[in-house]
Amino acid sequence: MDILSSLDPDFERRFGRIVNSRRESDTDVAGAVTSILGSVKASGDKAIVELTQRFDGYSLVEDDDWIITADRCGEAYDALDGELREALDLAAERIRAYHEAQLPENRDYTDDAGVRLGAIWRPVDAAGLYVPGGRAAYPSSLLMNAIPARVAGVERLVVTTPTPKGQSNPLVLAAAHIAGIDEIWRIGGAQAVGALAYGTDRIASVDVITGPGNAYVAEAKRQLYGVVGIDMVAGPSEILVIADGENDPDWIAADLLSQAEHDPTSQSILITDDAGFAAQVEDCVDVQLSQLPTGKTAKASWDAHGAIIVVNDLMSEAPPLANRLAAEHIELAIEQPESMLPLIRHAGSAFLGRMTPEALGDYVAGPNHVLPTGRRARFSSGLSVLDFMKRMSFIEVGDGAFSAIGPAAASLAHAEGLPAHAKSVELRIK
């Protein structure tokens, strides 16, 4: 774990190393994924059967082996502990309410030249949602992906999820029941992404694929972008906490470890203007690591990628550093977070004040927890209903409006060396 001070002579070099560090998987998966996708495109279901047996130890023989039924999802929901069922219902309700407010409005107006212009928003026909079956088998993730799609108006929601040795996660099935998933296929990995994109005899293709996965899933989505739409190419989780010395160090330590426990390649960073507080947080992290059931993973992350940065002035120094990091999550654990928020230009999601831990956003706050990582917050946003919609513009021109703008169009067409374009306009000019 790095400890930096902005007063150190080598601070810029050390901080630059953190900014530019690549925490994506070092495994060269591109070639393997290309081969898998080629097999799925060429052989369809046959390739899916072979790859599922090889990677998951699961045989797809009968029709029932391929799918998880809606009845089974309903049974999983009914079997949940009452408190847990209420928690999932609350999460779904809040996620749905937040995303309903994102729905865009159609436009239809006539401009000063008399041209009618506008745009109509339409949902895609079908969305594929990838749900991991290993370390990251989280029902919250299914809700975060499925509910915005349903709010957008997508008619067909398809889940693919691996079931190693035939085992499925009952919490994920319960979440699928709440979200109203139409199809659940018991396949995973790059081959599942390929099946969703290309389609097979059994599985009809979709228009958009979203959801987290391992390096193979992320690479498959990257390679298939253009065949289908994707949410983003996601990397390891990140949290940046900007905190003054008035915080409880135990709280801040827990916030840092909330992302470190995801994966050994996750990253947790604290920026503070209080060196004594920084030392307290470091001590609290060590204590909590010894008590966490996920301590092995969290410690590997903290030791390899964690950092504590001590600055002289929090308000003037922390925001520029934060913008260079462009972290997935940023907590502003300070007395007046509203004063700093306008200075934060690049982050996936911001959590304001001492009582707003990032973990609330993972579950029940409402905004989507599928967020850009790896500094991609510089140019992209979290998952929203817009990822499942597209905008179609429209134009209507009458005689008077055509006279006003037609000649200019013809002139530009001639200038570009496109006489057929010009003629299609000129024939209509009176």
Would you say residue 372 lies in a domain? no
- Find out whether 217 and 129 touch, Cβ atoms under 8 Å: no
Q: How confident is the model over 105-126, as a mean pLDDT? A: 98
Active-site choice (329, 346, 358, 369)? 329
Instruction: Give the pLDDT confidence of 297-306 residue by residue, as tens digits.
Output: 999 999 999 9
Do 247 and 298 fall within a single domain? yes
- Mean pLDDT in residue range 183-198: 97
Residue 27, pLDDT above cutoff 70 = no
pLDDT tens for residues 320-344?
A: 999 999 999 999 999 999 999 999 9
400: pLDDT strictly greater than 80: yes
Whether residue 166 sits in one domain with residue 17: no
Give the pLDDT of residue 62: 92
CA distance 372 to 381: 6
Residues 312 and 417 in one domain: no
Q: How far, CA to CA in Å, does 388 sit from each of 122, 210, 411, 417?
A: 9, 9, 38, 38
Inter-residue contact 27 to 271 (CB < 8 Å) = no
Q: Which range marks the domain in which residue 146 is found?
A: 30-108+122-230
Last residue of a domain, one of 230, 253, 278: 230
Domain co-membership, 187 together with 92: yes
Alpha-carbon distance of 161 to 144, in angstroms, equals 15
Give the confidence band of 28 by pLDDT, cuts at 50, 70, 90: confident
Q: Is residue 371 part of a domain?
A: no
Is residue 301 situated within a structural domain? yes
Q: Residues for the chain: how many in total?
A: 430
List, for residues 355-371, the tens digit of each pLDDT value: 999 999 999 999 999 99
Residue 78 confidence (pLDDT): 97
Q: What is the pLDDT of residues 210-260, one digit of tens each?
A: 998 888 999 999 999 999 999 988 889 999 999 999 999 999 999 999 999
214 and 348 within one domain: no
Nearest residue to 215 (alpha-carbon basis) of 1, 66, 22, 59 = 22
pLDDT of amino acid 165: 86
Shared domain for 146 and 256, answered yes or no, is no
**End position of a domain, from candidates 198, 230, 262:** 230
pLDDT score at 1: 80
Minimum mean pLDDT among 41-55, 123-137, 275-289, 354-368: which range?
A: 123-137
Question: In the predicted model, what is the mean pLDDT of residues 97-116?
Answer: 98
Percent of residues, the chain, with pLDDT higher than 90: 91
Which amino acid is located at 423 in the chain?
Answer: K
Residue 379 domain-assigned (yes or no): no
Helices vs strands, H then E, count in the chain: 18, 14
Whether residue 329 lies in the annotated active site: yes
**Strands of the 208-210 sheet, one edge to the other:** 183-185, 156-160, 126-130, 208-210, 229-230
Phi, psi dihedrals of residue 159, rounded to the nearest 5°: -105, 135
Query: What is the reported pLDDT for 133?
Result: 81
Is 238 catalytic? The answer is no
What mean pLDDT do residues 150-164 have?
96
**One domain, residues 216 and 242:** no
- The type of residue at 278 is A
pLDDT, residue 214, reads: 87
The pLDDT assigned to 21 comes to 82
For 257-286, what is each residue's pLDDT tens digit? 999 999 999 999 999 999 999 999 999 999
Q: Which residue among 183, 238, 282, 328 is the active-site one?
A: 328
- The DSSP annotation for 337-394 comes to HHHHGGG--S-SEEEESTT--HHHHHHTSSS------TTGGGT-----GGGGEEEEEE
Establish if 115 belongs to a structural domain.
no
Average confidence score pLDDT of the chain: 95
Strands (E), 245-296: 267-272
pLDDT of residue 86: 97
Residue 386 in any domain: the answer is no
CATH at 255: 3.40.50.1980
Contact between 115 and 401 (Cβ < 8 Å): yes
pLDDT reported for residue 23: 62
pLDDT of residue 173: 95
Q: What whole-number distance in Å separates Cα of residue 93 and Cα of residue 367?
A: 12
DSSP-derived secondary structure letter, 228: B
Indicate if 17 and 160 belong to the same structural domain.
no
In 3D space, the residue among 262, 281, 261 whose CA is nearest the CA of residue 271 turns out to be 281
What is the number of domains present in the chain?
3
* pLDDT per residue as tens digits for the range 138-149: 899 999 999 999
41 and 170 assigned to the same domain? yes
Same domain for 277 and 209:
no
Do 340 and 248 lie in a common domain? Answer: yes
Q: What is residue 398's three-state secondary structure? A: coil
C-alpha dist (Å) from residue 404 to 60, 242, 415, 428, 430: 64, 56, 19, 12, 11
Q: State the burial class of residue 301 (Cβ atoms within 10 Å of its Cβ: 0-12, 13-18, 19+).
A: buried
Alpha helices by DSSP H, listed for 21-58, are 30-43, 45-56
Which pLDDT belongs to residue 235? 86
CB 216 within 8 A of CB 189: yes
Does residue 24 carry a pLDDT above 80?
Answer: no
Segment 48-73 shows an average pLDDT of 94
Per-residue pLDDT band at 25 (split at 50, 70, 90): low
Tens digit of pLDDT for each residue in 165-186?
A: 888 899 999 999 999 999 999 9
